[in-house]
């Protein structure tokens, strides 16, 4: 299959390196990462060790193929710009898959490309950018893909098979929107607190006060999901959030890393979007609102 990965940072480069074993892959990203890949190939270390030679470009205009699959792996605040740049590549059979975190990516993509060519996905793999041309695979995880209307189509099954053949353990979901919400609830309860308190994930359960706050946020975010018609329950989401904290206890969350690197965070697409949706349903969003303000104040100051 011909695959273009738009947003070749940590997770996009990892998926690109794995998929390149059996497919034609082109990465689209930024210098100096792209320049390093052009000269020396892409190196993956950590949980996976790979050295891959593959095409990498800085502009969609330089893409030499007509892709069957476009994988979108930019941060949520870059979704609109990235998908607009990708439009000239889209042919009748092209499918766009978002593997991003956040609650507003699909609606942003839908504004620009036909809804029936969009798949959504979530992945629990962890990756960080080490140096130009080098990505560290920090945690092996699972990936879930689904059609937005829940159908188990042939094109979906083809892509899931292709991911599994590349060593990316992937399952089909008949309710991928619920999966996106579940991940957003978990992230909304972990990332902003770690960013504000400058701590590893595990500290959120070690500190009794933060432990209670995590539970309260998870419950508030789940209430917002339920108001939106998503079938998740607070006790289950609190439990899942705690399991993720335990499994990633020694990790620094992506939001904390962004704050430390003085980069933009995905807070608006996570807790910010939860506040917007909660307000539409006239339900309590006070904890998520405080988190947005705290993380925004970090960025400002």
In the complex, the residues that contact ligand NAP under the rule CB under 6 A are 6-7, 9-12, 28-30, 73-76, 78, 81-82, 85, 99-102, 123, 125-127, 129, 254, 266
DSSP secondary structure, 133-145, as one string:
TEEEEEE---EEE
Q: For residue 82, how many C-alpha atoms fall within 13 Å in the half-sphere facing its CB? A: 28
Nearer to ligand NAP (CB atom), residue 140 or residue 155: 140
Q: Which residue has the tokens 């006239």?
A: 282
List b or e across 144-160, with b for residues whose CB sees 16 or more CB atoms inside 10 angstroms: bbbbeeeeeeeebeebb
For the CB of residue 272, give the shortest distance to ligand NAP in the complex, in Å: 14
For the CB of residue 154, give the shortest distance to ligand NAP in the complex, in Å: 26
Determine the distance from the C-alpha atom of residue 164 to the mean position of all C-alpha atoms in its chain, rounded to a whole number. Answer: 19
C-alpha torsion sign, points 256, 257, 263, 265? negative
Residue number with the smallest Cβ distance to ligand NAP: 9
For the CB of residue 6, give the shortest distance to ligand NAP in the complex, in Å: 6
Tokens of 93: 């059979």
For the CB of residue 142, give the shortest distance to ligand NAP in the complex, in Å: 11
For the CB of residue 77, give the shortest distance to ligand NAP in the complex, in Å: 9
Nearer to ligand NAP (CB atom), residue 72 or residue 298: 72
Tokens of 10: 């940590």
Nearest to 27 by CA among 56, 70, 48, 47: 56
Residues belonging to the active site: 183
Nearer to ligand NAP (CB atom), residue 176 or residue 223: 176
Contact 132, 296 (CB under 8 A): no
Nearer to ligand NAP (CB atom), residue 9 or residue 278: 9
For the CA atoms of 257, 52, 68, 163, the dihedral, rounded to the nearest 10 degrees, stands at -70
Contact 291, 188 (CB under 8 A): yes
Nearest to 108 by CA among 282, 266, 281: 266
Nearer to ligand NAP (CB atom), residue 127 or residue 176: 127
At 10 the three-state DSSP class reads helix
């Amino acid at each position: 299959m011909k695959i273009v990965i738009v947003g070749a940072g940590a997770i996009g480069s990892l998926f690109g390196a794995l998929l390149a074993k059996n497919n034609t892959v082109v990465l689209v990203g930024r210098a100096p990462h792209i320049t390093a890949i052009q000269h020396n190939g892409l190196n993956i270390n950590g949980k996976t060790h790979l050295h891959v030679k593959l095409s990498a470009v800085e502009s969609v205009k330089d893409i030499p193929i007509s892709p069957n699959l476009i994988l979108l792996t930019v941060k949520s605040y870059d979704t609109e710009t990235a998908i607009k740049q990708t439009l000239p590549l889209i042919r009748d059979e092209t499918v766009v898959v978002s593997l991003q975190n956040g609650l507003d990516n699909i609606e942003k993509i839908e504004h620009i490309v036909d809804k029936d060519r969009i798949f959504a996905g979530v992945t629990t793999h962890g990756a960080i950018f080490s140096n130009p041309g080098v990505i560290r695979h920090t945690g092996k995880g699972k990936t879930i893909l689904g059609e937005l209307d829940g159908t188990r189509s042939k094109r979906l099954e083809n892509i899931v098979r292709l991911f599994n053949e590349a060593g990316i353990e992937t399952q089909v979901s008949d309710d991928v929107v619920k999966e996106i919400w579940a991940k957003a609830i978990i992230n909304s309860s972990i990332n902003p607190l770690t960013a504000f308190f400058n701590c590893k994930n595990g500290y959120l359960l070690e500190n009794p006060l933060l432990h209670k706050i995590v539970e309260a946020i998870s419950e508030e975010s789940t209430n917002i999901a339920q108001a939106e018609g998503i079938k998740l329950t607070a006790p289950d989401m609190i439990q899942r959030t705690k399991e993720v904290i335990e499994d990633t206890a020694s990790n620094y969350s992506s939001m904390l890393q962004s704050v430390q690197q003085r980069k933009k965070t995905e807070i608006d697409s996570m807790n910010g979007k939860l506040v917007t949706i909660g307000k539409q349903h006239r339900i309590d969003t006070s904890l998520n609102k405080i988190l947005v303000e705290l993380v925004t104040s970090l960025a400002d100051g």
